[in-house]
Amino acid sequence: MQQNLNYVYPQIFLVDRGGAGAPGPETAALPAWPVLPPQLKQERGGRGGCTALLLTLLLLTMAGLGLGAYYILRLQQELTELRQGSTSTSTRNLMPVLEKQIGLAVEKKETKRMAHLTVKSASGGSETLLWEPVVGKAFTEGMEYRDGALLINETGQYFLYSRLLLRGTTCPRDRAVVHRVFKRSGRYPAAISLLEDRKLSYCSGERMWTSSSYLAAVVQLQKFDRVSVNVSEPQLVSLDPANTYFGIYKI
């Protein structure tokens, strides 16, 4: 059976049990002190303990949240530093590639200097061959062709090549065929040989024959040099543009 806690208990007075009769005047003058029942004392003590426990848990929770927020901020800071470090490292690694790409872009913008000429004439009383600069596979870029010579307009190293197809029905055994690439310059009055091929025993018998001569090399040329091709037997040169040609390009 549950006891009603809202019940108002009567006041209890302390009396002197030494006397046998009613309380004396001194005893009656004492104040009346309320005495709580045991059940109420236990309930109030339990409520205070619960409150203290809740406050302790609340403080521990707030402390845990604070530590968690602190570690999260530290992690974010470390991640930011790592990203900045990786970005700077990637940038340093990419710099040579970017510089190379920029260099390639600049090189592409530079004017190319090259030419490929096909044979046009191999006679006319001169050993210097004449060439076609624009028709068919022939072209010039960044330089000029004039009167059998390519005009060099920039000093540098050039890859130079020339091929001749020789053919005939008779065999002039007593004469060698000299194939030569030479240059002329305003600083020197005579022609300067750059490449040369001397062919002997290039034919046999009295029937149709063919032979070829090919020259190629990297040479140093100066501005205003004029490069030409010379052959000692121009009447033996084939006029087929796919077999007789002359070209150059700047390295």
- Contacts with 238 (C-beta within 8 Å, 6 or more apart), sequence order: 119, 164, 165, 166, 167, 210, 244
Tokens of 215: 């020259």
Contact present, 121 and 130 (Cβ < 8 Å): yes
Average pLDDT in the 1-15 region?
A: 51
pLDDT at position 57 over 60: yes
Assigned CATH for 114-250:
2.60.120.40
What pLDDT is stored for residue 117 in this prediction? 97
What pLDDT is stored for residue 50 in this prediction? 79
* Percent of the chain's residues with pLDDT above 70: 70
Amino acid at 247: G
Burial of 151 (0-12, 13-18, 19+ CB in 10 A): middle
Contact present, 237 and 164 (Cβ < 8 Å): yes
